[in-house]
Structure 1
Amino acid sequence: MSIAAQIKKYKDELPGDVDLVAVSKTKPNEAILEAYEAGQRIFGENKIQEMTDKHEALPKDIEWHMIGHVQSNKVKFMAPYVSLVHAVHKLKLLKEINKRAKEEDRVINCLLQLKIAEEDSKYGMEADEALKILKSEAYQEMNHVKIVGLMGMATLTEDEQKINTEFAYLKGKMDEFSKEFPALTTLSMGMSGDYQIAIKNGSTMLRIGSSIFGERNYN
């Protein structure tokens, strides 16, 4: 199936309140343009330099999401244009995003990444740490970042019950936090292999890559 056909399939299948982030990491500009011409406007990247190069070359109404682990020293490169940072895993990073957004006279939306999988390779903070950030004076004083929700990555497994449990936990934390912090409206969970389980558990944003663009070539 072509990229355009895959975009159409997802647009037809997904509930109206679920946003599709087309994860275009390692993919050429031509592939992104094919998705763009099929109506896709939100694209996710996991390397700031690659995202910046694509931002400069591609249509300016594309909404770029940084979905990967962020190194503080690279934040300045994406600060002029990034729409949403999915993987904020500590207060120090939030402070850096705020500082760089201030220089650009922008407010950058961010998600706090909770660790919901058992795998050591997955980044993220514990729920009580996230709550501490939301309640902190440091965050309350930031005028150039806005925490708009939570993000999490489930364990890479065939065990659907396990994935379901992890997503249900994240949704529970979202419900709990949003009672006190109503700005939390975005729940980014679900990828190519588990997005249907994520939708059942209340995801509002999916990060879909390989099933739109095909397998990645990291060589």
Structure 2
Amino acid sequence: MLKVQENIENALIRSGRKSENVNIIAVTKTVDVDIINEIISLGINNIGENKVQEIQKKYDNISDNVNWHMIGHLQSNKVKYIVDKVNLIHSLDRLSLAKEINKRAKAKGIVKDVLIQVNISEEKSKFGLKKEEVVPFIEKILEMENIRIKGLMTMAPYVDNPEEVRYVFRDLKNLGYQIENRNYEKVEMEYFSMGMTNDYKVAIEEGSNMVRLGTALFGKRTY
């Protein structure tokens, strides 16, 4: 944990963002509730899960003082189970999902914060919109009153040398600037969720302020 914080601070210094804050999302896939509560006691207050059923299973047994993040691919028929539980959905990637989130949030009387997932590298195995699809997508969901866009998310290809994927993070940040300059209502580029255990230092150097860390916090896990 201390090593992670040190790496983040050094990456911020290298990028000239010394005074900025980076949110650590603890990716708790396969992690037991006791261990999650232990890491919360060390100062982690953001928990990220890939699957709706994991959030449902753990939600009532985790400290109240945390923010929940849905970071995995979200099926429309599962939205109703987590729309009032998670603080931020990182993986909005299609219109049908936006409509369902909006509908379920409206029924609960809330406005749901979301990130748009962008597949910068255009890997076939990854979800997300292509870069050129993002602005038209935003314009389609501007009328949805119960969704608030808070930023962008991406996943870089897994490589041995993170320098090879630096362009992914740079491109996402640049896309964020372009969107910001359009001054849409209810659209903020507050969060750039990019960087995982393998590449989070490079991601921060390129502007990430939200990193999703599993192995770096919990060690290697077998799935």
Global fold match (TM > 0.5): yes
2:204 corresponds to which residue? 199
Which of these residues, 141, 144, 147, is aligned with residue 142 of structure 1? 144
Query: Residue 145 of structure 2 aligns to which amino acid in structure 1?
Result: N
Partners of 1:206 and 1:62 in 2: CA distance: 16
1:85 corresponds to which residue? 89
Query: Residue 101 of structure 2 aligns to which amino acid in structure 1?
Result: I
Partners of 1:105 and 1:12 in 2: CA distance: 40
Contact persistence 1:42–1:65 (CA under 8 A)? yes
1:102 corresponds to which residue? 106
- When normalised by structure 1's length, the TM-score is 0.91
Question: Does structure 1 residue 14 correspond to structure 2 residue 18?
Answer: no
Partners of 1:21 and 1:161 in 2: CA distance: 22
Partners of 1:201 and 1:24 in 2: CA distance: 25
Query: What residue ranges of structure 2 are gaps of 5+ in the alignment?
Result: 10-19
Where 1:65 maps in the other structure, the secondary structure is: strand
Please state how far the C-alpha of 1:12 moved relative to its aligned partner: 4.6
Residues paired across the two proteins, number: 210
Percentage of pairs with the same residue: 38
Contact persistence 1:88–1:113 (CA under 8 A)? yes
Question: Does structure 1 residue 211 correspond to structure 2 residue 216?
Answer: yes
Partners of 1:160 and 1:186 in 2: CA distance: 21
Judged with a 3 Å threshold, the aligned counterparts in structure 2 of structure 1 residues 161 and 39 are, in CA distance, closer, same or farther, namely: closer
Where 2:220 maps in the other structure, the secondary structure is: coil
- When normalised by structure 2's length, the TM-score is 0.89
Query: Residue 156 of structure 1 aligns to which amino acid in structure 2?
Result: Y
2:74 corresponds to which residue? 70
Query: What residue ranges of structure 1 are gaps of 5+ in the alignment?
Result: 1-5
Partners of 1:76 and 1:30 in 2: CA distance: 27
Please state how far the C-alpha of 1:31 moved relative to its aligned partner: 1.1
Partners of 1:216 and 1:77 in 2: CA distance: 27
Which piece of structure 1 moves more, 120-129 or 13-22? 13-22
Contact persistence 1:178–1:185 (CA under 8 A)? no
Contact persistence 1:113–1:124 (CA under 8 A)? yes
Contact persistence 2:4–2:216 (CA under 8 A)? no
Q: How do residues 112-151 of structure 1 correspond to structure 2 at under 5 angstroms?
A: 112-136=116-140, 139-151=141-153
Please state how far the C-alpha of 1:118 moved relative to its aligned partner: 4.3
Query: Residue 148 of structure 2 aligns to which amino acid in structure 1?
Result: K
Where 2:77 maps in the other structure, the secondary structure is: helix
Where 1:95 maps in the other structure, the secondary structure is: helix
1:35 corresponds to which residue? 39
Where 2:189 maps in the other structure, the secondary structure is: coil
Please state how far the C-alpha of 1:11 moved relative to its aligned partner: 3.6
Which piece of structure 1 moves more, 185-194 or 114-123? 114-123
Please state how far the C-alpha of 1:58 moved relative to its aligned partner: 1.2
Question: Does structure 1 residue 49 correspond to structure 2 residue 43?
Answer: no
